C-alpha cells in the first residue's frame, strides 16, 4: 500500500483517510475568517469642525471649482466648504461604501470556479466471503467557465471603473449642493440685513408718529400705512432668518456636523460675466469630463462583455473529470467522466436576448443623458443672458428709487410729503432690492448647475 497522496493505489480509501486531515488544514488555511461588525450606538455627527491644517486644495474638489489652498482660519469660502464636503459628507462616505460593494462584486465575478471532488462509500449488506466496501472517488471541473473567463474579467474591470466614476459623480453632486446652500444662505442673510435696516427705520419712526397722533398733530390715517409696512417687513425678516437658519442646518448635515455648529462663512457676491463661447465650445468634449457620462460608458462596456459571454455560453457546457472506483468484489478501476449539454432547444437564447435588450437599453440611456447634457447647458446659457438683463434693469431701478426715497424722507420730516405716499415709495424701493437679491441668487445657482453640467468653470478669465 502506497502512502503517497498523489497516486491512486489499492489502498486508496486508507490513503484518502490519512490525507484528509492534511487536505482539510490546507483548505481551511485559505478560508476567510468571520468577524462580526456591530452597529454604532451613538451618533457620529461632529460637534465642531475637524482640525484640518492649511493645505493645497488641488485634487480634492472637481475641476469646475476654482482651486486655492484650504485655510479655515479666515472663514470658509465656497471652495473650502466644497473641500470639506468631499472629505466629510456622509453621502460621500456612503457612496464610498457602495463602491466597495461594487468592487467586491466585480472581484467575485472574475474568480474561476473551484474543482469538484466527490466521494461515495458503499457497504455490502451480505456476509458472503470476499466482499468488501466499495467507493467511488471523482475529481471534476467545469471547463465552460474557462471559455467565458476572459469576457467575465472584462465585465468586472468595467464594473469597477463604473463604480469609481459613480463615486466621483456623487462627489460632484455634493460639491454643487454645498455651493447651492452657500448661495442661499448668503442671499437670505443679505436679505435679512436689508430688512433689518427697514426694521430699524420703522422702530425709530413709529414712536414719534404715535406721539404725534396722541398729541393730535397727526391723524390715525397717517399712522396706518406705517403699521402695515412695518408688519409686512417684520414678516419678511422672520422668513429670511428662518430660511437662512434652515439652510445652515442643511449645510451642517451635508458636512456631518450637528445643527448647532456655527460656521464662519465667507460669501463672494460678485457676478463675473460668463464665457459663452468657451462653454459652447466645451460641449463637444463634455462626455470626457462628466463622470456620470463616463460611468454610463463603462457600464455599457461591461454590458458588451456580458452579451459576448452569453453568446459564448451557447456552446455545450463541458464538464470533465477523473474517477477511481472499487466495487464490492475488491476490483479497482480508473477512468474519466465527461458531461456536456446538447444544444438542441435552449442554446442560451433566452439569456442572449436579455443581455442584448439590456445593451440596447443602456445605449439609449447614454444617448438620452448626452443629449440632456447639451440641451440643459444651452438652455442655461440662454437663461443666463435673460437673468443678467433682468439684474441690469433691477439695478437701474434701485439706483433711481434710492435718491427719491432719501429726498422723500427729508420731505416727510418737514411735512412736504404725506405718510401714505412716502410709505408706498419706500415699499417700492424695498421690493426692488428684494427682487434684485433674488435675481442674483437665481443667477448664481444656475451657474453652479451649469458648472456641474459642463465640468468647467464658466466665468470669463477662468
Of 294 and 36, more confident: 294
Q: Indicate the pLDDT class of residue 422, thresholds 50, 70 and 90.
A: confident
Task: Enumerate the H helices of 137-219 as residue ranges.
Answer: 144-214
5: pLDDT strictly greater than 50: no
CB contact at 8 A, 185 and 248: yes
- The rounded distance, in Å, linking the Cα atoms of 83 and 76 is 10
451: pLDDT strictly greater than 60: yes
Q: What is the DSSP string of 410-455?
A: HHHHTTSS-HHHHHHHHHHHHHHHHHHHHHHHHHHHHHHHHHHHHT
At residue 9, the pLDDT reads 45
Residue whose C-alpha cell is 448635515: 253
Specify the DSSP element, H or E, that contains 303.
helix 291-312
Which cell is 100 given?
Answer: 466597495
CB contact at 8 A, 165 and 295: yes
Which cell is 77 given?
Answer: 469660502
Model confidence pTM above 0.95? no
CB contact at 8 A, 173 and 452: yes
HSE-up of residue 114 (Cα within 13 Å, Cβ side) = 6
**Domain map of the chain by residue range?**
116-142+316-347
Q: Summarize pLDDT for 79-88 with one digit per residue, the tens.
A: 889 988 988 8
At residue 20, the pLDDT reads 52
39: pLDDT strictly greater than 70: yes
Q: Summarize pLDDT for 164-213 with one digit per residue, the tens.
A: 999 999 999 999 999 999 999 999 999 999 999 988 888 877 777 777 77
The dihedral built from the CA positions of residue 231, 236, 239 and 240, taken in this order, carries a sign that is: negative
CB contact at 8 A, 151 and 305: yes
At residue 59, the pLDDT reads 59
> Of 33, 71, 66, 34, which is closest to residue 49 (Cα–Cα)?
71
- The rounded distance, in Å, linking the Cα atoms of 238 and 192 is 8
At residue 452, the pLDDT reads 92
The secondary structure of residue 38, as a DSSP letter, is P
Looking at beta carbons, which pairs linking 367-376 to residues 24 or more positions away fall under 8 Å?
Answer: 369/292, 369/293, 369/296, 370/286, 370/287, 370/293, 373/283, 373/286, 373/287, 373/290, 373/293, 373/453, 374/283, 374/286, 376/449, 376/453
CB contact at 8 A, 57 and 71: no
Task: Give the rounded distance of the alpha carbon of 190 from its chain centre.
Answer: 30
Amino acid at each position: 500500500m502506497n502512502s503517497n497522496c498523489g497516486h491512486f493505489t489499492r489502498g486508496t480509501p486508507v490513503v484518502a483517510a490519512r490525507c484528509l486531515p492534511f487536505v482539510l488544514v490546507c483548505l481551511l488555511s485559505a478560508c476567510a475568517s468571520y468577524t462580526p461588525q456591530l452597529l454604532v450606538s451613538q451618533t457620529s455627527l461632529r460637534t465642531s469642525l475637524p482640525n484640518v491644517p492649511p493645505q493645497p486644495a488641488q485634487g480634492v474638489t472637481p475641476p469646475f471649482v476654482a482651486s486655492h489652498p484650504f485655510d479655515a482660519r479666515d472663514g470658509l469660502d465656497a471652495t473650502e466648504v466644497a473641500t470639506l464636503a468631499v472629505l466629510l459628507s456622509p453621502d460621500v462616505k456612503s457612496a464610498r461604501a457602495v463602491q466597495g460593494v461594487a468592487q467586491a462584486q466585480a472581484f467575485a465575478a472574475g474568480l474561476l470556479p473551484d474543482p469538484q471532488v466527490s466521494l461515495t462509500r458503499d457497504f455490502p449488506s451480505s456476509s458472503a466471503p470476499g466482499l468488501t466496501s466499495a467507493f467511488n472517488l471523482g475529481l471534476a471541473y467545469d471547463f465552460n467557465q474557462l471559455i467565458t473567463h476572459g469576457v467575465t474579467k472584462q465585465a468586472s474591470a468595467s464594473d469597477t471603473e463604473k463604480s469609481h466614476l459613480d463615486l466621483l459623480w456623487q462627489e460632484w453632486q455634493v460639491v454643487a449642493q454645498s455651493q447651492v446652500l452657500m448661495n442661499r444662505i448668503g442671499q437670505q442673510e443679505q436679505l435679512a440685513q436689508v430688512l433689518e435696516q427697514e426694521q430699524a427705520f420703522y422702530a425709530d419712526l413709529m414712536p414719534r408718529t404715535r406721539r404725534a397722533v396722541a398729541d393730535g398733530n397727526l391723524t390715525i390715517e397717517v399712522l396706518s400705512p406705517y403699521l402695515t409696512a412695518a408688519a409686512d417687513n417684520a414678516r419678511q425678516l422672520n422668513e429670511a432668518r428662518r430660511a437662512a437658519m434652515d439652510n445652515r442646518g442643511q449645510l451642517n448635515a451635508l458636512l456631518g456636523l450637528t445643527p448647532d455648529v456655527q460656521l464662519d462663512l465667507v460669501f463672494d457676491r460678485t457676478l463675473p460675466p460668463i464665457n459663452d463661447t468657451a462653454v459652447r465650445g466645451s460641449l463637444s468634449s463634455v462626455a470626457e469630463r462628466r463622470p456620470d457620462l463616463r460611468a454610463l460608458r463603462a457600464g455599457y462596456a461591461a454590458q458588451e462583455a456580458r452579451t459576448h459571454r452569453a453568446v459564448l455560453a451557447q456552446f455545450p457546457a463541458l464538464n470533465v473529470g477523473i474517477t477511481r472506483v472499487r466495487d464490492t468484489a475488491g476490483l479497482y478501476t480508473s477512468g474519466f467522466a465527461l458531461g456536456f449539454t446538447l444544444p438542441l432547444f435552449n442554446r442560451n437564447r433566452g439569456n442572449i436576448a436579455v443581455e442584448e435588450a439590456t445593451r440596447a437599453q443602456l445605449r439609449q440611456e447614454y444617448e438620452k443623458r448626452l443629449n440632456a447634457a447639451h440641451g440643459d447647458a444651452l438652455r442655461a446659457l440662454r437663461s443666463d443672458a435673460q437673468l443678467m438683463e433682468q439684474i441690469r434693469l433691477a439695478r437701474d431701478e434701485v439706483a433711481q428709487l434710492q435718491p427719491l426715497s432719501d429726498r422723500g424722507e427729508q420731505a416727510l420730516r418737514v411735512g412736504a410729503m404725506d405718510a401714505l405716499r412716502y410709505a408706498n415709495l419706500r415699499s417700492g424701493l424695498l421690493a426692488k432690492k428684494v427682487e434684485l437679491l433674488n435675481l442674483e441668487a437665481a443667477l448664481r445657482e444656475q451657474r453652479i448647475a451649469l458648472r456641474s453640467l459642463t465640468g468647467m468653470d464658466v466665468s470669463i478669465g477662468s
